[in-house]
Structure 1
Amino acid sequence: MSEALAKIQRQIQWNRLIAVVEEQAQTMIRTAFSTTVREAGDLSAGIFDLQGRMLAQAVTGTPGHVNSMMESVGHFLAKFPAETMQPGDHYITNDPWLGTGHLHDLTVVTPAFRKGRIVGLFANTAHIIDIGGLGMGPEGRSVFEEGLYIPIVKCFDRGAPNETFFDFLRAGSRTPVELEGDVYSLCACNDAGARRLVEMLDEFDMDSLDPLAEFIFDSSLAATLEEIRKLPQGTYRAEIRSDGYEAPVTLQAAMTVEEARIVVDYAGTSGLSTRGINVPPAYCRAYACFGIKCVVAPEIPNNWASLSPFQMQIPEGCILNAPRPYPVSVRHVVGQLLPDLMMGCLHQAVPGRVNAEGSSALWNPPLRGGAQVSGQAAEVEDFEIITFNSGGTGARPGKDGLDGIAFPSGVRTMPVEATENVAPVIFWRKELRPDSAGAGRTRGGFGQVMEIGAKGDAEFAVNAIFDRVANPPKGREGGGEGAAGWVGLNDDNGTPLRTKGFQVIPKGRRLLLKLPGGGGMGDPASRDPALVKRDVADGLISKQAARELYGVEV
């Protein structure tokens, strides 16, 4: 076979591999019990070589999951070497330091066999509704309070379920049926990927993935290094602030662009928290790498090789380098600000390729009700649910930001009907929030207004995990800030609630959320007046804001 024909065949095989892992992810979505997976797509799926290096990831999934899962397969292999694995084996953990950052994420690794020989590994991660403990929220003072801690163990041994494991799993959760069902779903999706991989290997008469892996890694690394060499070398610094829990949190980064790598040093970042907003280092690397890659090499496939030039120096004692057993349940509240921080650095090097700051961290209220909140006075059945929602994204250099869209996590907004179908809650309002977008030549995306109650306006509770309230998203190049978020009750006084922590919504009241908007890009006075008038006509910008922010009379 000629070299040119071989390259064409490798490209075809690469495309097939993407189809394999996407079917892997879609199988999970179709079979999952948790609404977080089947409705929001809060998951990752990928294929790895026998050294634990990620070859390809599914299109469906989140950077926080897939980029930290990329590290986790190596931990599985350290405990269960590839040569000891058998067909039908499935391995699982939710260890935040060996998986994807908190106990609510289950990671499953499964070997794929062809003709009795192991040829690859499939891995996936999914966010589940409940893992026991205090529930998803920042209140824990150690990881041991945050839920059931699963070390790397076999959940299936040669196709047979580990009944002892499943006994512990069911006993440790408020939603045992959903949790057990999700584990079966994760194993099924890896099996689907393994079957498709074997079909692909048979079709191309391949005994090993190694030649294809070498092609993928060499091509991806070379392309990434080529993009890095286009950047002006130097050190660029940025800072961003989070609302924090006990006190505000400052994230600092010094990004050094060299000829063949980009190194980020987080010296100066705030220290560890006593509550669950701490970030395990793998999760820090996951979102920081994603933020860099979005700007530097967005078209290059995401795999072990293309991420390897992005290196992190995270000081010990820093909130981005939480050690065991620090609480980490809502590590996303801080971790999802990292792409904005990376873009703050890169804006100094390639300003035309960077967005303004957005709402960034998801607004995903965990809701709980029934006897576990109200005791014998409960008026609704026990429930535990979480719903994913987002504010606006930051303005882009040539386009407005996106409204109510999750960036950087990439999860879908959950339909209210799906949540109302599985829990006794009612979403009385879910609409775009006028005047929440940061003004600019291109404006930010709009946040949302949400009003949530229990059926019959019964008492229920929220475990608040919100940010961007005291520190709204900033604009760039003269663009305005996005509107700050707000959390409170729907009463006449507009009673505010804490942005983080477990709080009871009293009978007769509802939870009111005002999600932040994205920052603007450029001088608002340079915005096309026709676009301003369009937003006023659509009810997104008030006439007063049009006049005061843009100088446009409507």
Structure 2
Amino acid sequence: MSQVDDIRMQVMWNRLISVVEEQALTLLRTAFSTSVREAGDLSAGVFDPAGLMLAQAVTGTPGHVNTMAEAVLHFIEEIPREDMFPGDTYVTNDPWKGTGHLHDITMVSPSFRGDRLIGFFACTAHVVDVGGRGFGADGKSVYEEGIQIPIMKFAERGTVNRTLLAMLRANVREPNQVIGDFYSLAACNDVGHKRLIEMLEEVGLPTLAPLGDFIFARTRSAVAERLAGLPKGRWSNEMLTDGYDSPIRLAAEIEITDQGVNVDFTGTDAPSPYGINVPLIYTKAYASYAIKCVVAPDIPNNSASLAAFDVSSPVNILNAERPAPVSLRHVIGHMVPDLVLGALAKALPGQILAEGAGALWNIHISVRPAPGHTGTRAEVLMFNSGGMGARPGLDGLSATAFPSGVHTMPIEATEHTGPVVIWRKELRPDSGGEGQYRGGLGQVIEIAAAEGHEFDFSAMFDRVTQAARGRDGGGDGAPGSVMLDDGTALRPKGWQHVPEGRRLVLNLPGGGGFGAPDRRDPGARAEDLKKGYLSGARK
């Protein structure tokens, strides 16, 4: 291939990424649920006819994108080629064939040029409700956690499956939002297909095959070059997380070879009886993401880059089998990157950030009129983030969702969805771990029902008993806490009640510090005091 051909292919690769980015932004702009529209809890990508991911949108989360890379293969296995037609869209929320829990809806659409299948578009989004117990950890099996949608057709030849929509309406609390999101997902794939056909016609390519060959060849070469520069050997790490009612031990061993990076989770605790278990497909997604952040952060993500990382585990909480409850798989799954990065820190000393809050502090609020009052019922979902760990050479980012990458929902958008009031949402002083570089700060959030209302809420919180650890002599981040405004302590997981007139107070955890605190620049410490990141109690 000539240099001109190389440049042409590179331009088309960039164009393909812009196609899937527009695909994702379509979902972002048309979604009904605030978790998608405001927080960006979604993913989008394009795949070749064999189901190999060619490109992903930058908009989205690693938990969705990397699981979707495997999920599309399950769709192809389930739906024969002879049953695929132009205008089809397929759907599932199977936790073991999709993205790890029932609240994530994955849609896959075959892309035809004439009668020829040239690829697939896929997208995923978190919907506000799937019935059952709701979004929480209290279920004892996946059957309690909501409606299960096996891999099936949402639409065939452009005709929507009305029976599926009727079943959804009968099983969820917010049918208009949920069904609206289903149509948004389908539209997202349609936009991707339309833009792809326009691109192929413009550049004069009949299929994606030449571009796919170029993408995969260049990616393999680039990843191999990065692997060659890494130390070879085995390193391990362990971590304690809060668990549901007792701490859970996570363990990982990584092996770096010339061929790739292998991660094994042998030694991790057994599955939990509660809904914090993680299907292996989700564990793989976040383990691969952690490795890629270190090995090849600037190489576009596709099947060739992911192929360099092998993830395995015996049956345990990171490889829970059906019918384990998995609704809050993200609470443990979001700890996987810190677990893997802790092992990589031993291979690459001084180069890996400290532990952070990890798991999102999601909260699902079910608000209703208090006894003796009339008013509105609503299901409200908020995504909140603690602090990131400090980085080599830089302080940690405050109130930032690492590793998930979702956005914080604006207060105004949250209050618009139901009768709730956010009385306070501000950075939490002294929550970042001390060090040469300070850990990122958590937040303080106060939530109440509007006048005449009360609410139940599903707590999905971690780092309450097990703080984020510092790195290379840095201090631990502050642990989180959950309470009412009168000081009553509440549990970090499970459905609980907030009566009329009371406020729920969430103190989100901070990230660990990096390096010895006595090496911190005095000017940086003075700036922290000036901005209120440090109180006068900690100088």
Check whether TM > 0.5.
yes
Alignment correspondent of 1:201: 200
Alignment of 1:471-482 (within 5 A): 471-482=466-477
Alignment correspondent of 1:531: 524
Gaps of 5+ in 1: 547-554
Decide whether the 8 Å contact of 1:238 with 1:253 is kept in 2: yes
Decide whether the 8 Å contact of 2:88 with 2:157 is kept in 1: yes
1:510 equivalent to 2:509? Answer: no
Alignment correspondent of 1:111: 110
Decide whether the 8 Å contact of 2:240 with 2:250 is kept in 1: yes
- What amino acid sits opposite 1:424 in the alignment? P
- What amino acid sits opposite 2:349 in the alignment? P
Decide whether the 8 Å contact of 2:352 with 2:392 is kept in 1: yes
TM-score, with structure 2 as normaliser: 0.99
Decide whether the 8 Å contact of 2:375 with 2:452 is kept in 1: no
1:498 is aligned, of 491, 497, 500, to: 491
Matched length: 539
Q: CA deviation at 1:170?
A: 1.0
C-alpha distance in structure 1 between counterparts of 2:11 and 2:308, whole Å: 26
Partner of 1:300: helix, strand, or coil?
coil
Alignment correspondent of 1:386: 381
Alignment correspondent of 1:328: 326
- What amino acid sits opposite 1:337 in the alignment? M
C-alpha distance in structure 2 between counterparts of 1:131 and 1:252, whole Å: 32
C-alpha distance in structure 2 between counterparts of 1:429 and 1:246, whole Å: 28
**Deviation string for 1:372-430 (max 9, x for gaps)?**
xx6x6565421111111101000000110001010000000000100101111000000
Q: CA deviation at 1:207?
A: 1.0
- What amino acid sits opposite 1:156 in the alignment? A
**Deviation string for 1:436-486 (max 9, x for gaps)?**
000011111010000000001632111111000000100000000000000
C-alpha distance in structure 2 between counterparts of 1:370 and 1:423, whole Å: 9
1:438 equivalent to 2:437? Answer: no
Alignment correspondent of 1:28: 27
C-alpha distance in structure 2 between counterparts of 1:181 and 1:360, whole Å: 30
TM-score, with structure 1 as normaliser: 0.96
Alignment of 1:344-355 (within 5 A): 344-355=342-353
Decide whether the 8 Å contact of 1:106 with 1:128 is kept in 2: yes
Decide whether the 8 Å contact of 2:373 with 2:452 is kept in 1: no
C-alpha distance in structure 2 between counterparts of 1:170 and 1:84, whole Å: 27
Gaps of 5+ in 2: none
Alignment correspondent of 2:292: 293
Alignment of 1:20-169 (within 5 A): 20-169=19-168
Alignment correspondent of 2:515: 522
Q: CA deviation at 1:351?
A: 2.5
Q: CA deviation at 1:215?
A: 1.0
Partner of 1:468: helix, strand, or coil?
coil
Q: CA deviation at 1:360?
A: 0.8
C-alpha distance in structure 2 between counterparts of 1:267 and 1:119, whole Å: 40
C-alpha distance in structure 1 between counterparts of 2:291 and 2:314, whole Å: 20
Partner of 2:211: helix, strand, or coil?
helix
Q: CA deviation at 1:353?
A: 2.7
Alignment correspondent of 1:369: 367
- What amino acid sits opposite 1:243 in the alignment? D
Partner of 2:125: helix, strand, or coil?
strand
Alignment correspondent of 2:180: 181
C-alpha distance in structure 2 between counterparts of 1:64 and 1:377, whole Å: 44
Decide whether the 8 Å contact of 2:463 with 2:480 is kept in 1: yes
Alignment correspondent of 2:239: 240
Decide whether the 8 Å contact of 2:425 with 2:444 is kept in 1: yes
Partner of 1:544: helix, strand, or coil?
coil
C-alpha distance in structure 1 between counterparts of 2:212 and 2:47, whole Å: 9
1:302 equivalent to 2:297? Answer: no
1:455 equivalent to 2:453? Answer: no
Partner of 2:188: helix, strand, or coil?
helix
Alignment correspondent of 2:396: 401
Alignment correspondent of 1:340: 338
Alignment of 1:257-268 (within 5 A): 257-268=256-267
C-alpha distance in structure 2 between counterparts of 1:6 and 1:83, whole Å: 35
1:485 equivalent to 2:480? Answer: yes
Flag the 1:43–1:496 CA change in 2: closer, same or farther, 3 A: same
Q: CA deviation at 1:432?
A: 0.3
**Deviation string for 1:7-60 (max 9, x for gaps)?**
111101100000000000000011000000010000000000111110100000
Decide whether the 8 Å contact of 2:232 with 2:255 is kept in 1: yes
C-alpha distance in structure 2 between counterparts of 1:275 and 1:482, whole Å: 27
Alignment correspondent of 1:549: none
- What amino acid sits opposite 1:211 in the alignment? P
2:536 is aligned, of 527, 536, 543, to: 543
Q: CA deviation at 1:262?
A: 1.0
C-alpha distance in structure 1 between counterparts of 2:375 and 2:462, whole Å: 29
Q: Structure 1 vs Structure 2: percent identity of aligned residues?
A: 54
Decide whether the 8 Å contact of 1:109 with 1:121 is kept in 2: yes
**Deviation string for 1:148-198 (max 9, x for gaps)?**
100011111111111101100111100000011000000001000000000
C-alpha distance in structure 1 between counterparts of 2:207 and 2:266, whole Å: 43
Q: CA deviation at 1:84?
A: 2.9
Flag the 1:199–1:83 CA change in 2: closer, same or farther, 3 A: farther
C-alpha distance in structure 1 between counterparts of 2:327 and 2:71, whole Å: 18
Decide whether the 8 Å contact of 1:469 with 1:486 is kept in 2: yes
Which range is displaced more, 304-313 or 25-34? 304-313
Decide whether the 8 Å contact of 2:363 with 2:381 is kept in 1: yes
Partner of 2:538: helix, strand, or coil?
helix
Partner of 1:452: helix, strand, or coil?
strand
Decide whether the 8 Å contact of 1:368 with 1:461 is kept in 2: yes
- What amino acid sits opposite 1:513 in the alignment? L
Alignment correspondent of 1:551: none
C-alpha distance in structure 1 between counterparts of 2:492 and 2:396, whole Å: 24
Decide whether the 8 Å contact of 1:359 with 1:517 is kept in 2: yes
C-alpha distance in structure 2 between counterparts of 1:11 and 1:353, whole Å: 31
Decide whether the 8 Å contact of 2:388 with 2:397 is kept in 1: yes
Which range is displaced more, 295-304 or 276-285? 295-304
Q: CA deviation at 1:240?
A: 1.0
Q: CA deviation at 1:543?
A: 2.7
1:360 is aligned, of 358, 361, 378, to: 358
Deviating beyond 4 angstroms after TM superposition, the runs of 4 or more aligned structure 1 residues are: 376-379
Partner of 2:55: helix, strand, or coil?
strand
Partner of 1:370: helix, strand, or coil?
strand
Q: CA deviation at 1:116?
A: 2.8
C-alpha distance in structure 2 between counterparts of 1:13 and 1:465, whole Å: 42
Q: CA deviation at 1:495?
A: 1.0
Q: CA deviation at 1:61?
A: 0.3
